[in-house]
Structure 1
Amino acid sequence: MKILIVDDEPMVREGLKIGIDWSEMGFEEVECASDGRSALQVFSEFKPDILLTDIRMPFMNGLELTQEVKKLDPIIVVILLSAYDDFKYAQEAIRLGAFDYILKPVDVNTLKEIVMRGIEKRIELLDACSKEIPQLKKEDLKFFKAEYYKYPLKLEEELSKAIKRGETKAAIDIFNKIWEEFENKRYTEDFIKRWGIELVAVITRSIIEIGESADVLFKETDPWKEICKLPTLEEIYRWMKNLIEVVCEYVNLTRSYKNRKIIEKALELIHENYKNPDLSLSSVANHLYITPTYLSMLFKSEVGINFSDYLTNFRVEKAKELLKDPRKKIFEVAEEVGYFDQHYFSKVFKSITGFTPKEYREKIL
């Protein structure tokens, strides 16, 4: 095992190199680089198994470096060093294929734990890549010529997009077109089985690109062994079709779960911060690392009303409770529910209740 450490702070870089017993974890070689650009040059020659890199660096940052090294070695294990303020960048790096991130200042025990998991992942990926696949037959070679390969490749990209959206019918329709292509060009059973591994790769990449782990689908099974057991083309077709259906269902379930969690957090932020006059759709969206447009659509879908209406109604309900106390002045109640302008508060309150705050207080008292 070889590890490359990249950080523009010399004390951090050298501290990590010298202060940790890398040989204890199985590393024979440790190299360092001071920025992303020089790291890329070292990477090409050094060929590390693990890349430990800071996010913020001159010339080429950690996100750009992650993208570039993934082109050179798709199964490289990238671990990010992230300051607390860089958390959203660390999340973006995970979406780009990074393995994990460690918050600065670095806790040595946490670092060792994540690196050890990274080693296990690297070994697992190397093992998967070394599995023996039967030799291509002569009649299949034409498929790999550019003119034959463009059409199925384009369909694979369309299939990936449908899977990422969780659109089962669209995904199956695209898969059927690919299968028709195989039948029309009379590809052999061995070749179609080998394409099954390509299908698994498409699915795995699609799942990772939407921020999910593919382990849940393939951790306990070896797809190649499963495909090899299938005795007929009909059964191969059913296996592939079923795999696509299961994955689309999984994507929809995880998206539904994530959406509920996003809305739960959004509601929590409203309930905890309604007194803040600057609370808005944009501020909540920024806190959740999603776009205001997406949050607005999601909020209306999950809650039934739009964000601003919910916030207004919530503030008015809180104001009603405060108005029960005759010692509180109207402007004080307004400020406690997020309105510095008493007249605007009265207008909003009346639009919801039909009464001004003063009328409402007189009525309930």
Structure 2
Amino acid sequence: MKVLVVDDEQHVREGIRLLGDWERYGIDEIYEAANGEEALRLIQTYKPDIIFSDMKMPKMDGIELLERIKKQHPTCKTIFVTGYDDYHYMRKAIHFGSFDYILKPIDPEILNQTLEHAVIEWKKEEAERKKHQSSHQLINEMKPIYRDRMLTKFINNDTIKDNLYEEFGFHLSQDYTAALVRVSGKSIANFQGDRDLTYFTILNVINEIVTKYECGIGFRYLSNKGEAVIIFWDKFEQIDELLVHIYQTLKTVLSVSCPIALGSQVDQSSKLIDSYHHAKQLLLNSNILSTNKEKVYIHKLPVDTDVKSLMAYSSDIELAVQAGEISAFQEVIERITKDFTQDGFLSFKQLIHFEKEYQIISNTWTKKYGLPSPVTDDVAEYIDVFFDQNGTFRLEKYIARKTREVALFLTRVKRRSTPKSINIIYDIEKYLQANFDRDVKLQEIAERFYLSREYISRKFKQEFKENISDYIVKIRMNRAKALLKNKDFKIYEIAHMVGYQDDKYFRKVFKKVEGVTPNDYRSLLFESN
């Protein structure tokens, strides 16, 4: 802590320095001033926490100094030191916020008691200030999150308390409209994958523009991934122009396109969800092959395009797989491309649907041949890489990627179809022979031999004419029959030795497979001998 001693008499200042138990109260810096003007300069520079000041001084007396301190440095604790036991001065000092006063000549005990009380009070108030500051900072940090959550609920027809409208800067109106901004994975990648920072930047741009015109508010729409929404309540005749301005600014800031669609105008806030859905349909049905500079979609009615299915080409795909050559796929790929992009049109909705079906078909074929199946959690983020900075879909790059994926699949199928795959099945059989006495799971085998469970099951049955679980039972029963030849082994011991912890269950399985109980089998063995 810091202390400032203000007095025009040097011996008084020195006396206070000598008499104060500074170290005890955590005070490690002490400054001196000979008058009020000098004191103000030191206060501005060093910001002391406690000030001892004389009442009567040249240039600026203690009361004027205290008045200035109260306005400019209200957290200071001021203690007056005076030789005048004057009620008039004390009343003014109390009026301007003096913490306490002590009389000259200074009593060391009174000085330190007053100092102690001042330090305790200052620390208490400082703790409250920090608590308030921390709380205020947290509220400011939480405001965007809280705003996003509340406005997402609001657009989904949840009511908001009237006092919260003003808190968000939301204006009640007779008419509203919603605009949808698509936030792509590329945008987030430009911020090193920091999704929150991406939205913070985007919403700063949006809200700076709409706040300037006092016509709307933007927020992160939490019901759907990759979306920001703007609610407009005024300046409807300027919205088209504002959206183009927002689009261009976002593109400059993010170096990537954020397509925007404007929904229909509605006459009450409860219908905002209809305006949002209108905007969503505009985005989904927009032509992603378009080379227009501004990807801002404003139409009276969305054009709902038909979605074609890749499943219609399943028989052609199967024939191409059986041919085993990429050249067999070229014709299929060209035909699919032509059918899906008639008249140079491909909607975002169609692309999403195509990619989902492609992954289903791809996973079906990879599993059939025991190959690892690639999994894409977010289809929209996967296809984002095929859009250029202007938001135009690069169809040629996408087709080239799919062609490489198919070629790689065919290469792997050829490798799986060699005798090596048969050898792996016999390796699995050896593994079962070595581990028959414990519960070997199919997943364990798949992980050990880097094959899918479906492939192992199918190939094993093709090669050994029975499934794995039945094969293990056969191994166990053969081993049990060998052990039953030794009279020294109890039945329950044999059960444990071949992998059964429950000897009753072992007896049941043995009888089912061999037609007799283990005891009867042993008896028959020794009778024949």
TM-score when normalising by structure 2: 0.26
Choose 1 or 2 for highest CA Rg.
Answer: 2
Instruction: Write 1 or 2 for the structure with the bigger share of helix.
Output: 1
